Chains A and B, each alone.
Chain A
Amino acid sequence: MTSNRLYGPLDDVSGDAGYVAGHPQRVGFFTDTSVCIGCKACEVACKEWNGLPDPEADALVLTGMSYDNTAELGANSWRHVAFIEQAVPAASAPALSALSRDAEGELIISASVGDTDDGGSATRWLMASDVCKHCTHAACLDVCPTGALVRTEFGTVIVQPDVCNGCAYCVSACPFGVIDRREGDGRAWKCTMCYDRLRGGLEPACAKACPTDSIQFGPLSELRETAQARLAELHAAGVPEARLYGDDPDDGVGGTGAFFLLLDEPAVYGLPPDPVVTTRDLPAMWRWAGIAAGVLAAGVAVAFTGRAGRAGRP
Chain B
Amino acid sequence: MSEQPQVPPAEFSSYYGRPILKVTRWREPHLPAYLFLGELSGAAAVLGVAAGLTRRPGLVRAGRLVAAAAAAGGAAFLTAELGRPERFLHMLRVAKPTSPMSMGSWILVSHSGLTSAAAASDLTGLLGPLGTAAAVASAITGSLLAAYPGVLLADTAVPAWHSSYRELPLLFAGGALTAAAAAGLVAGALTGDPASLGPAQRLALVGAALEGGAELALERRSDIAAEPYQEGDGARLLRYARIATISGAVTALAARRSRPAALAAAALLAGGGICAKFAVHRAGIASAKDPKYVVATQQSHSPPTRR
Contacts and interface: CB of A to CB of B under 8 A. Distances in A.
Interface string B127-154: 0000000000001000110111011001
Contact of B91 (A146, A181, A292): A146
B105 interface: yes
A236 interface: no
Residue picked from A171, A185, A279, A303, most chain B C-beta under 10 Å: A303
B299 A273 contact: yes
Interface stretch (B15-23, B110-118, B261-269): B15-23
A171 B294 CA distance: 15
A142 B299 CA distance: 25
A65 B98 CA distance: 38
Interface size class of B (residues with CB under 8 A): 35 or more
Contact of B162 (A142, A278, A300, A302): A278
Contacts of B81: 167-168
A228 interface: no
B13 interface: yes
Given A171-B25, A311-B55, A293 B87 contact: no
A304 to B, nearest CB: 4
B22 A177 contact: yes
10 contacts: A143-B156, A174-B21, A271-B20, A278-B156, A291-B169, A292-B170, A302-B202, A303-B181, A304-B199, A308-B53
A241 interface: no
Contacts of B191: none
Most chain B Cβ neighbours within 10 Å, of A182, A188, A290, A304: A304
A297 B46 CA distance: 7
B15 A268 contact: yes
B21 A143 contact: no
B177 A173 contact: no
B303 interface: yes
Given A285-B154, A296-B46, A145 B99 contact: yes
- 6 A-B pairs closest in CB distance: A166-B83, A186-B83, A270-B15, A292-B169, A165-B87, A168-B25
Interface stretch (B65-73, B203-211, B216-224, B234-242): B203-211
A145 B102 contact: yes
A146 B83 contact: no
Interface of A: 6, 63, 65, 71-72, 74, 82, 84, 139, 142-148, 163-169, 171-182, 185-188, 252, 264-265, 267-276, 278-282, 284-286, 288-297, 299-304, 306-308, 311-312
A264 B176 CA distance: 48
B94 to A, nearest CB: 4
B143 A142 contact: no
Contact of A145 (B14, B101, B203): B101
Contacts of B146: 292-293, 296
A142 B99 contact: yes
B298 A272 contact: yes
Contacts of A176: 20
From B50, B173, B176, B303, residue with most partner A Cβ within 10 Å:
B173
Q: Name the residue among B47, B88, B166, B200 with the largest chain A CB count within 10 angstroms.
A: B166
A273 B165 contact: no
A282 B98 contact: yes
A142 B155 CA distance: 10
Contacts of B161: 172
Contacts of B305: 280-281, 284
B258 interface: no
A289 B169 contact: yes
Contact of A312 (B55, B85, B158): B55
A271 B14 CA distance: 8
B56 A296 contact: no
Contacts of A275: 157, 298
Nearest to B25: A168
Contacts of A148: 90
A16 B14 CA distance: 35
Nearest to A173: B156
B253 to A, nearest CB: 14
Contact of B50 (A166, A278, A300): A300
Given A172-B158, A299-B177, A177 B143 contact: no
A264 B14 CA distance: 11
Contacts of A296: 42-43, 46, 143, 146-147, 173, 176-177
B83 A187 contact: yes
B120 interface: no
B91 A276 contact: no
B50 A304 contact: yes
Interface in B82-104: 82-85, 87-88, 90-91, 93-94, 96, 98-102, 104
B91 to A, nearest CB: 5
Contact of B101 (A143, A265, A269, A271): A143
Contacts of A284: 165, 305
Contact of A311 (B94, B96, B195, B206): B195
A63 B17 CA distance: 12
B91 A165 contact: yes
A53 to B, nearest CB: 15
Contact of A276 (B15, B295, B303): B303
A269 B147 contact: no
